Amino acid sequence: MKSENFQPLIDKLDELLDSEKKALVQGDIDRVGQLMPQKEYLVESLNAQDNLDRKNLARLHQKVMRNQTLLDSALEGIRAVATRMSELRRVRSGLETYDERGRKQHFGDQRSTQVEKRA
């Protein structure tokens, strides 16, 4: 692609980064995934440019960094939820303690997990 054609790529990527930010703020991770192929294509197309000036990319770089921070925060939140759910499952399965000799003891949940069918 010739260097004079890079401005439409910059504009498209700029719009896409705004859409990605909106999706991240709304927690729409599926939408973020849907935008990824187009984002990759635009970035690769810009990387193929010969005479691309850094000042043309400064605004895009700021938006990319902003979105990366939002994405990192979203992933941190997802990890926290996964950890909490794992802890809750572990607690529901019973209690683990150590006896006087340092051996692990497990006190399981005595409730039945089966569903009783009544007529």
Tell me which residue range forms the domain holding 45.
3-91
Give the count of domains, the chain: 1
Q: Is residue 9 part of a domain?
A: yes
- The position carrying tokens 């895009």 is 60
Nearest 10 degrees: CA dihedral of 26, 29, 30, 35?
A: 90
Q: Give the model's pLDDT for residue 112.
A: 53
Segments in the chain below pLDDT 70: 1-4, 109-116, 119
List strand residue ranges (DSSP E) for 1-119, in order: 94-98, 104-108
Q: Is residue 104 part of a domain?
A: no
Q: Is residue 107 part of a domain?
A: no
Neighbouring residues of 112: CB distance < 8 A, sequence distance ≥ 6:
none
Q: Is residue 55 part of a domain?
A: yes
Q: Is residue 22 part of a domain?
A: yes
Angstrom CA distances, 104 to 24, 89, 92, 95, stand at: 44, 19, 17, 10
Q: Is residue 79 part of a domain?
A: yes
Give φ, ψ of 64 to 5 degrees: -60, -45
Q: Is residue 13 part of a domain?
A: yes
Q: Is residue 100 part of a domain?
A: no
Q: Give the model's pLDDT for residue 1.
A: 46
Considering the chain, what is the average pLDDT of its residues?
86
The pTM of the whole model exceeds 0.85: no
